[in-house]
């Protein structure tokens, strides 16, 4: 095995938005008499070169591509990017001076060493954002990490072949790194080795993961997306604290570089390129009830009957593999012995306000009619001989099966037709389980092997199912509940975190994984409330319920019962308390879902996303923001002890209304029926009446809880999604420093909901209260539209807008 590095530039050329560099590597340097070329006049040395190209999409975003095997051409990407969504005019200035090439846009300067290769990205004010590492040496003068280059391996005692390409980059002493998909290890990835390669993770406590996305964010103000579907390996300061490395198992190394400098700006640009999410159906934000599993129609209907009897809000029930016949998962056909007359069963569920989710995986067991159909028609991934790639222990139930080849349009049509039949029957959503098991030597209909299809397969799998549902129900009602994912999978919502242990450690790792994937373009994610395999303690279950019901989506699931009554009366009481809160927040969550569609920003947010300049947030993975207005700190100890960090600003305890100044850590012992929940002062929080199921359409009435800051002027805003009119309504509230004047504004006075504003923590009645510039009339109690009242006991002004 030999490593070759780029050492200099032989020539360069440029066009309006692209610079191409023909580079010399150290294994060619002795054989080539080279010089760099300015323009096209300088003599070029004889011998081979390797190309590096820089293509600018915008002044702050560019694509870097290094092809180590140029005669074969660069590897064609499988990732589906929408370059047109981000392209802007770029005015490049390219100048060379004293062996250095400077490529300038309005926002960035890329500097390339010509005589001796170097690569750096700086801002217009000279701050280094990214720099290739070539100075990390040990006491012998040897490099600790490999700079830009490629690795060749001898094959069969003879020819050499390029197997890997990659580079090294500097890590600043105060730099922090996030992302890489759903990673269950420490939230800040500095110091870790990371592999972007899907595996059956068998839990959520290791580096192994189901959702790998080769995209990371740095507190230096940049994001990097490696454009490949092959295996990617990172060393983020593990071998050397001064350096990071990225290696791709391919002869082409390509990445897209995004400069923000804010994380929000980077995520918006990144998701515009890789694909924005479609807003999930509103009912999906209700409670999902599931376990492994409800084994018959009678069993399922007993669960739904008790949910309604106990008045536990719930919108979705899920059937795991038992809806299919034994040894037939996954042929997508009902076991009508266990689930007789499924059409009437589904109709009954719908009448009771339940949506139905069915489990599936993309593997078809041998010995079934579906297997024979797929084999005869070539719908399976094959081995090198062209036969179906049959493996034992592939399917649910530990029996042999083959893998549906979603690169084959005919196989896609076949699977989608089976899916559409179920959707037409009334099935609402599919849990698209698995998808991580593609062998590297498998062969696909598109000519690719598993080496490049392994990571990409979940994209094809989830898209196939998602589009089949959309064909029948429309895109507004399309949804999957997926486990495996790659770059761009966020386009097909949504995903859950796999098989967490039923413990506080499992609960914490589920949160870490969710926060990590939220920074890689996935705005919606969930987890198994209670953990997956085994039975959680009552305390763990209740604490997980609180966390789960204050997540983007909420599903109870595990190998043993996860219905609240299985854990006693107190669990039922707490479950109902937090389910009621969740359903009061549906308009809030749905408004942030609309924001996610437009920006790619997540509903559940790590604090570092909103408070990137606050060093305390850099490693904070035990709490999160739900939207921007609510701060949630799950409890991970049976004792109820929890530390809560409040970032800058002012925060109000949701339960007690006590106020706290930001920039401090609170040490709390929390009763079992509470979770630390804080409202950001200077905010508007929309609430409405709870219900047993999510109500479609805009609420008839929404209460706007306005929380002013305690001192100084308040300006609070919120973008409310008016579902009936399919538009965002901007809400504003301005309060002067003395609380004498309150000015409320509704951008669209004809918005569907009737808004009631509760302005809390007001010491005295205001002198004036205006809505859209018009004075409202003060009354003693029970205000009607155009009136307001003041409650001295609650210190609250209520105005009916």
Catalytically active residues are 433, 436, 499
Q: Which residues pair with 248 in a beta bridge?
A: 165, 232
* Residues in Cβ contact with 715 at an 8 Å cutoff, skipping those fewer than 6 apart: 682, 732, 733, 734
What angle separates helix 586-599 from helix 569-584, to the nearest 10 degrees? 60
Residue in this structure with the two tokens 């059956």, named with its chain if needed = 200
User: Is beta strand 243-248 parallel, antiparallel or unpaired with respect to 429-432?
Assistant: unpaired
> Among 622, 619, 707, 631, which residue's Cα sits nearest to residue 662?
631
Classify burial at 87, counting beta carbons within 10 Å of its beta carbon; exposed 0-12, middle 13-18, buried 19 or more: middle
User: Is beta strand 701-707 parallel, antiparallel or unpaired with respect to 754-759?
Assistant: parallel
The encoded tokens of residue 714 equal 């308040």
For the CA atoms of 364, 370, 376, 382, the dihedral, rounded to the nearest 10 degrees, stands at -10
> φ and ψ at 8, to 5 degrees?
-165, 175
Q: Which residues of 732-770 are buried (b: 16+ CB within 10 A; e: fewer)?
A: bbbbeeebeebbbbbeeeebbbebbbbbbbbeebbeebb
Do the beta carbons of residue 402 and residue 452 sit within 8 Å? no
Do the beta carbons of residue 217 and residue 612 sit within 8 Å? no
Q: What is the DSSP string of 608-652?
A: HHH-TT-GGGTT--S-EEETTTEEE----STT-EEEEEE-SSEEE
Do the beta carbons of residue 706 and residue 721 sit within 8 Å? no
* Residues in Cβ contact with 224 at an 8 Å cutoff, skipping those fewer than 6 apart: 130, 215, 216, 218, 246, 255, 256, 257, 258
Do the beta carbons of residue 196 and residue 211 sit within 8 Å? no
The Cα–Cα gap between 634 and 505 comes to: 12
Do the beta carbons of residue 402 and residue 364 sit within 8 Å? yes
> Among 33, 45, 37, which residue's Cα sits nearest to residue 20?
37
Neighbours of 392 (CB within 10 A): 10
Q: What is the DSSP string of 639-651?
A: T-EEEEEE-SSEE
The Cα–Cα gap between 365 and 407 comes to: 20
Cα distances from 556 to residues 317, 505, 510, in angstroms, run: 10, 17, 14
Q: What letter does residue 454 receive in the DSSP assignment?
A: T
Cα distances from 18 to residues 53, 121, 162, in angstroms, run: 7, 16, 26
Classify burial at 14, counting beta carbons within 10 Å of its beta carbon; exposed 0-12, middle 13-18, buried 19 or more: middle
| 3-state SS assignment for residue 557 | coil
* Positive or negative: CA dihedral 792, 793, 796, 799: negative
Cα distances from 182 to residues 187, 192, 209, 509, 515, in angstroms, run: 10, 14, 6, 10, 8
The encoded tokens of residue 381 equal 């991934």
Continuous segment of H or E residues that includes residue 79: none
> Among 421, 54, 441, 84, which residue's Cα sits nearest to residue 257?
54
The Cα–Cα gap between 604 and 627 comes to: 6
């Amino acid at each position: 095995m030999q490593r070759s590095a780029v050492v200099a530039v032989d020539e360069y050329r440029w066009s309006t938005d692209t610079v191409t560099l023909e580079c010399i590597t150290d294994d060619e340097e002795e054989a080539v008499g080279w010089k760099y070329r300015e323009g096209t006049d300088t003599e070029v040395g004889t011998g081979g070169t390797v190309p590096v190209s820089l293509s600018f999409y915008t002044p702050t975003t560019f694509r870097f591509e290094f092809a180590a095997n140029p005669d074969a051409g660069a590897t064609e990407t499988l990732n589906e990017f929408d370059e047109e969504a981000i392209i802007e005019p770029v005015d490049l200035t390219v100048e060379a001076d004293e062996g250095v090439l400077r490529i300038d846009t309005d926002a960035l300067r890329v500097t390339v060493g010509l005589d001796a290769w170097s690569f750096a990205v700086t801002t217009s004010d000279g701050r280094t954002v990214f720099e290739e590492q070539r100075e990390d040496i040990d006491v012998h003068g040897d490099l600790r990490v490999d700079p830009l280059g490629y690795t060749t391996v001898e094959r069969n005692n003879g020819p050499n072949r390029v197997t890997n390409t990659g580079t090294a980059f500097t890590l600043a002493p105060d730099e922090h790194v996030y992302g890489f998909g759903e990673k269950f290890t420490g939230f800040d990835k500095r110091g870790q080795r990371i592999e972007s390669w899907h595996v059956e993770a068998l839990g959520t406590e290791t580096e192994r993961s189901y959702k790998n996305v080769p995209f990371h964010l740095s507190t230096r103000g940049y994001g990097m997306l490696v454009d490949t579907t092959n295996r990617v390996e990172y060393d983020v300061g593990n071998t050397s604290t001064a350096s990071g490395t990225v290696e791709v198992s391919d002869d082409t190394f390509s990445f897209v570089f995004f400069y923000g400098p804010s994380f929000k700006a980077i995520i918006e640009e990144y998701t515009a390129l890789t694909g924005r999410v479609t807003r999930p159906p509103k009912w999906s934000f209700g409670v999902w009830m599931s376990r492994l599993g409800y084994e018959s129609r009678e069993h399922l209907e007993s669960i739904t009957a008790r949910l309604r009897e106990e008045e536990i809000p719930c919108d979705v029930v899920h059937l795991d593999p038992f809806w299919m016949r034994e040894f037939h998962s996954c042929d997508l056909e009902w076991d009508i012995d266990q689930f007789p007359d499924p059409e009437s069963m589904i109709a009954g569920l719908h009448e009771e306000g339940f949506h139905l989710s069915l489990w599936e995986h993309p593997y078809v067991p041998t010995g079934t009619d579906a297997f024979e159909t797929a084999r005869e028609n070539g719908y399976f991934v094959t081995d090198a001989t062209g036969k179906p790639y049959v493996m034992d222990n592939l399917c649910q139930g530990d029996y042999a099966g083959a893998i549906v080849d979603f690169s084959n349009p005919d196989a896609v049509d076949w699977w989608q037709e089976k899916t559409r039949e179920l959707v037409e029957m009334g099935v609402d959503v599919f849990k698209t389980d698995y998808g991580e098991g593609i062998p590297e030597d498998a062969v696909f209909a598109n000519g690719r092997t598993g080496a490049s299809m392994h990571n990409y397969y979940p994209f094809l799998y989830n898209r196939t199912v998602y589009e089949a549902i959309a064909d029948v129900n429309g895109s507004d009602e399309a949804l999957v509940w997926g486990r495996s994912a790659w770059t761009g999978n966020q386009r097909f919502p949504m995903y859950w975190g796999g098989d967490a242990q039923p413990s506080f450690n499992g609960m914490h790792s589920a949160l870490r994984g969710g926060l990590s994937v939220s920074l890689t373009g996935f705005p919606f994610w969930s987890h198994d409330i209670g953990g997956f395999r085994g039975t959680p303690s009552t305390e763990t279950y209740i604490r997980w319920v609180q966390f789960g019901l204050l997540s983007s989506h909420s599903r109870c699931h595990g190998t043993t019962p996860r219905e609240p009554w299985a854990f006693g009366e107190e669990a039922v009481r707490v479950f109902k308390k937090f389910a009621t809160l969740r359903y009061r927040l549906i308009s809030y969550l749905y408004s942030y879902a609309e924001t996610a569609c437009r920006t790619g920003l997540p509903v559940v947010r790590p604090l570092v996303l909103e408070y990137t300049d606050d060093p305390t947030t850099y490693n904070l993975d035990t709490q999160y923001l739900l939207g921007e207005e609510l701060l949630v700190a799950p409890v991970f100890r049976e004792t109820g002890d929890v530390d809560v960090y409040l970032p800058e600003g002012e925060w109000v305890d949701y339960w007690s209304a006590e106020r706290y100044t930001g920039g401090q850590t609170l040490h709390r012992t929390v009763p079992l029926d509470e979770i630390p929940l804080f409202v950001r002062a200077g905010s508007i929080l929309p609430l409405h009446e709870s219900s047993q199921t999510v109500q479609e359409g805009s609420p008839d009435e929404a209460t706007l809880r306005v929380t002013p800051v305690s001192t100084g002027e308040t300006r609070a805003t919120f973008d409310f999604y008016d579902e009936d009119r399919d538009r965002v309504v901007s809400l504003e509230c301005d309060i002067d420093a003395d609380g004498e004047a309150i000015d409320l504004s509704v951008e669209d006075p004809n918005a569907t909901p009737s808004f009631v504003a509760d302005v809390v923590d007001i010491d005295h009645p205001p002198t004036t209260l205006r809505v859209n510039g018009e004075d409202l009339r003060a009354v003693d109690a029970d205000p009607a539209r155009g009136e307001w009242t003041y409650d001295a006991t609650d210190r609250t002004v209520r105005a009916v807008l």
